[in-house]
Structure 1
């Protein structure tokens, strides 16, 4: 298809995901009304599975057209397995497909971010206010279970447009499970978004009485006429004048120029791909593919970090919860679907509406040889009271989904996550062809600390959930998990079962010029390239101790604030 004449805008945003939609909203609503173009590879998603709490996990598995279809390289520490890396394709990006958890992380994450970026505006006392400005947090439901969740209303925002909530009613089994862990010594955390996530909590979610909030449903409804949105538009080329980026070109030949800046919000995997294709990245890599080097930036595509997880599943007596019976009764499901579509009530508003878990320290972590071998600054950070070693979730979905249970049985699905992974992967190009998907090496479990910490996270999660004296009496048998809790059996299980929780970050890292791998400054400006910023999770200089949706919104918020201030919008 031939090129079309270029349209001109003040700002062009590449990627209509979690951060991109927020930035488009903020810039287009600024008092000076700059012209803004938002360019998204996918569609404007509609149809089944996208809103009801019951379908919290469904879009990622049942709407494949809303996924970019990325797959990792074979992982040598996972027996050569490849990992399907689901990324949202459509307005809203991964906020369409994620599991809805809305957690800030540790305040110490943002203090460390400030230290690495050389910018105190990233410190917790400032980022906490930023989070408050983003959210409209419905806390009232927690009054019904105040012994398990009691956020301080003054510490949370009610004037933002991203709807966040705690459920009005707790699904059966949640309170029983949490109370069992607390009774057996776990710390209760009444508000994991206080800056200290450590302890057992009910997790806030990006839901409301209307269902799932995506960045598009929050930020693109009733868009002003100075915001134009292109869908089905994959950006392949950046247009340069010297070292300045002045526009973009899509795969189908649409072109646009900008008077001020292009802001790339394509995500941790696609942002480095786009930069590399356009000559911004490690010079030797680019030259080997015949790509003209516009800026030698060694860090592009490097320092890929992630949270990893494993599912642990047990069959339990249906006196604990009735999920399995409900999910396998076609008449009840049809009735529930009808009720939700009629007035957003019924079992679809309740089932999977609440998720609980904990961010926890592994016992004796500071004595591990693998810990003592870490850089002293990393050791100091990991030793802080509000920085966890691992996360557990106590009531997830059934895995494998086709498991058949006898009448009178249900399931508890737990997950063990590794926090603060030290392994670093990369995103590189297969070729200079923009249509080729990138090579994604996740490097899972390459670092000795990660292997030790993940092993302990699995052992602790299994013990706390399924060997808990008060829960053990309802456990019938293991469905999924290691053969035993020995090091050998847990390690074998990790090789077979470790996968991603889709929190990749760091591939266009924020940092000072003194850091050879830093790609952007604390104002999101790409080093050595005028007119170009990056604002998505690729800029993270560390992986926050959370589920990264809230951090993606934070990045968009901060980037928008800095652009509005700099251009006096």
Structure 2
């Protein structure tokens, strides 16, 4: 009989204050028990030992659930947001034992959040307690639809709920940042040491021979966050590689993370030993979280940053962070003796700045918010990668569709993953990526240069999207990775607990819909290659009827959603530029004591998925901060 194992956990486990009866799957996964075999009992013993070990770590760790439990209210640095950037900063700044750091996270701990640890379950994390559950404004370019806009609401931020893709972007992406900011430190060449500080390239879960699947010379094995190749072979792998050899359009690229992205490559992901490697599991891992100078407060919202009561020169100084658990709860204050660092993300950071009176003065005044600093670009320049999933029926049943269609099979595979971290659940939903350019951009070229892509195809051994009850599929996700369209983050009300107005402006520029249309045509050419003749049957759903450009446009506008890659709302610009929000050292223009480190500072969206670029930005930012304070 299948049932979850129950145990009595020690008091004060992880963050609770009382002994509890808990499901093991809430903390270390669950095990489907069919018989009390010796191996099962051994596994149970190992799981209980793991629970006790985590409990011991939790006692030493400075993780707090309430403001009242903090050891004080003044810290050298207060970091707002425990996502990719925030956790890098918390780790690097506490390398100096005399420096105190308070890391604030609005969500809960990632410890014990099973679905965030299983790579294949990444598609099940939207609209859960681990997601802010945002919705966009109605999008004119999407036939007036409002769509979900996932952002991580858990320690690790979006690195705990994303698709785990590790793509750095093109070398031209970073060189453009350097040119725009006038700071050569943001160039591809000068960021290499930070790429290596971040990355720990590890063997795949199945330890297969990876020769010819990546270029070891462009990777590091000495970093903190794990990166690996797929750990479970897929039925379509050989056909994909054969297609890249027979069809020049889809030429093979040994390693898309070399800075040269164009072509078809094996996907690299943030996975270690079959488990998600997030910023929480890596930069806040057991060997770091126990530092006595690192304090982490979870389940707490930052409502505003506040100016200091002490004025320094002619610049306003911010040193206070206002906190609350709910809109009705009391507000508390913590003080940053050196800096407040906003790492709340492309939505959260401008939301906090605007509520703090930093933004467009007229718009803030209209909402009854005192404007401390007129920076009209706060919340502007929002950019994201439009995403569309297309699917085709295939012969055979060696796809991952049955994992989502058959609950019993899913449970059995989860049991295997829990015990030995093997099987199809050790991977994300895609296996290969293809990046390409339009031959002649008709509306100008928004990419960073001639070696940077305009669109991406992600190839999946199964249906991408809401999986039908039956059938086997191949899925191809198309993205516009160099979009022209821009949107914004604005306040709805003056209540910091009200979600902001998120307007990504999807497909508002003709270039973007043209590029998505060409990406779908490229996907059709891919599946029409001879290697797929005996395998692919026919398109699924509305794709089959989209036979003209006008019908393709309708298919696109009816189906496009977010890649969850937003950037740009607190963009960096040159030191003396009259536009932008932060200087090249990521300090907010016109004030002291306030810095921003997250995806919002990127003035242009990178042509790859945004997880790796944010890690890279945060690693360099850590050094900029250390240099500023002679740490």
Report the CA distance between 1:397 and its aligned residue: 5.2
Q: Secondary structure at the match of 1:315?
A: strand
Relative to structure 2, which stretch is displaced further, 130-139 or 261-270? 130-139
Distance 2:406 2:486 in 1: 45
Q: Which residue in the other structure is 2:147 paired with?
A: 83
1:246 aligns with 2:319: yes
Deviations 1:5-60 (A, max 9, x none): 97100000000111101100110112x53010000101102233222233232323
Distance 1:444 1:19 in 2: 26
* Pairing of 1:30-109 with structure 2 (within 5 A): 30=96, 32-45=97-110, 46-60=112-126, 64-109=128-173
Q: Secondary structure at the match of 1:309?
A: strand
Report the CA distance between 1:476 and its aligned residue: 1.8
Please tell me the root mean square deviation across aligned C-alpha atoms, in Å.
2.1
Q: Which residue in the other structure is 1:215 paired with?
A: 279
1:159 is matched with which residue: 213, 222, 228?
222
1:274 is matched with which residue: 352, 356, 360?
352
Q: Which residue in the other structure is 1:192 paired with?
A: 256
* Pairing of 1:32-431 with structure 2 (within 5 A): 32-45=97-110, 46-60=112-126, 64-138=128-202, 144=209, 146-147=211-212, 149-151=213-215, 153-185=216-248, 186-222=250-286, 223=289, 224-241=291-308, 242=311, 243-252=316-325, 253-318=331-396, 321-349=398-426, 352=428, 355-362=431-438, 364-366=439-441, 368=442, 370-371=443-444, 378=446, 381-382=448-449, 384=450, 386-395=451-460, 398-406=463-471, 410-431=472-493
Q: Secondary structure at the match of 2:126?
A: helix
Q: Which residue in the other structure is 2:25 paired with?
A: none
Report the CA distance between 1:208 and its aligned residue: 1.3
Distance 1:282 1:246 in 2: 21
Q: Which 5+ residue runs of structure 1 have no aligned equivalent?
A: none
> Which of these two proteins has the greater Rg computed from alpha carbons?
2
Report the CA distance between 1:304 and its aligned residue: 0.5
Report the CA distance between 1:309 and its aligned residue: 1.0
Question: What's the TM-score once normalised by structure 2's chain length?
Answer: 0.83
Q: 1:305 to 1:330 in 2, by over 3 A?
A: closer
Q: Is the 8 A contact 1:246 1:531 kept in 2?
A: yes
Distance 1:559 1:264 in 2: 12
Q: Which residue in the other structure is 2:598 paired with?
A: 536
Q: Is the 8 A contact 1:143 1:150 kept in 2?
A: no
Report the CA distance between 1:173 and its aligned residue: 1.3
Q: Is the 8 A contact 2:232 2:424 kept in 1?
A: no
Q: Secondary structure at the match of 1:511?
A: coil
Report the CA distance between 1:330 and its aligned residue: 4.0
> How many equivalent residue pairs?
546
Q: 1:450 to 1:402 in 2, by over 3 A?
A: closer
Q: 1:542 to 1:211 in 2, by over 3 A?
A: same
Distance 1:113 1:475 in 2: 42
Deviations 1:174-225 (A, max 9, x none): 2222322431222100111101011000111000115100101101123201
1:512 aligns with 2:578: no
Distance 2:406 2:380 in 1: 48
Q: Which residue in the other structure is 2:77 paired with?
A: 11
Q: Which 5+ residue runs of structure 2 have no aligned equivalent?
A: 1-65, 326-330
